[in-house]
Amino acid sequence: MPEWEALFPHLGRWVETSSATTDYNCYAFAVKDLDRWWDPLPAPGYYWPSGAPLNHQISTFIEIYKSYGYAPCADGALQHDVEKVVIYENASGGCDHVARQLPDGRWTSKIGPDEDIAHETPESLTSNSYGRPAHFMARRKVDLNS
């Protein structure tokens, strides 16, 4: 198991919630797509939502998650019957990570090609690698059991 505290200095309490896999990445995991690795890569073979620009710009991710029913919201506060994702903004103004809120208010993230973890807050993963949680989005819950 990687030493995630070294990568995420604000990590705090966390638990591993899956074994490592390349079946999906954080962008897909945010909308519970556990079958595909999303990548805006011009090389053939990878998946990227149809019509989305091939880049890591924040505006691209906002549009992608809008297409999944999310709309921008103020913060990551837990709300009944609402599920939220947060887009992290890195120092270059791009996105390298997206996390999803769990029903208990914690957050969950797929860490690159490694495992899924549950962490206490979006700020737990604030780091040089991911940047900071900057753009919250919400939609009505579509699966009350998840």
Partner 1 sequence: MVPASQIPQAILTAPTSVAQAVVTAPTRAQNWRAPEDRKAVIGTSTQVQRVRAMSFIGLATISGKLVLPQQQNDWIEFQGYARAWRQSRPKGSSSAQQLAADLNYLRIIEMSDRAVPCLLKQLENELAVGAPDHWFIALWATTKGANPVPPESQGKMREMAKAWIEWGRKEGLLDAGMGSAISASG
Site stretch for partner 1 (CB under 8 A), options 37-45, 63-71, 79-87, 136-144:
37-45
Angle made by CA atoms 93, 4, 87, in degrees to the nearest 5: 30
- Residue 22 engages partner 1 in binding (rule: CB under 8 A): yes
Q: What is the DSSP code string of 111-137?
A: -TTS-EEEESSGGGG-BTTTBEEEEEE
- Residue 68 engages partner 1 in binding (rule: CB under 8 A): no
- Residue 39 engages partner 1 in binding (rule: CB under 8 A): yes
Q: Which of 84, 100, 110, 119 binds partner 1 (CB under 8 A)?
A: 110
Q: Which of 11, 14, 28, 138 binds partner 1 (CB under 8 A)?
A: 28
- Residue 61 engages partner 1 in binding (rule: CB under 8 A): no
- Residue 51 engages partner 1 in binding (rule: CB under 8 A): no
Angle made by CA atoms 81, 17, 115, in degrees to the nearest 5: 120
What's the rounded Cα separation, in Å, for the pair 102 and 118?
8
Q: Which of 14, 70, 130, 136 binds partner 1 (CB under 8 A)?
A: 130
Q: Which tokens is 140 given?
A: 């009505």
Edge-to-edge strands, sheet with 116-119: 14-16, 116-119, 107-110, 98-101, 82-89, 132-140, 71-73
Residues forming contacts to partner 1 in the complex (CB under 8 A) are 2, 4, 7-8, 21-23, 25-28, 35-39, 41, 43-48, 56, 96-97, 110-114, 129-130
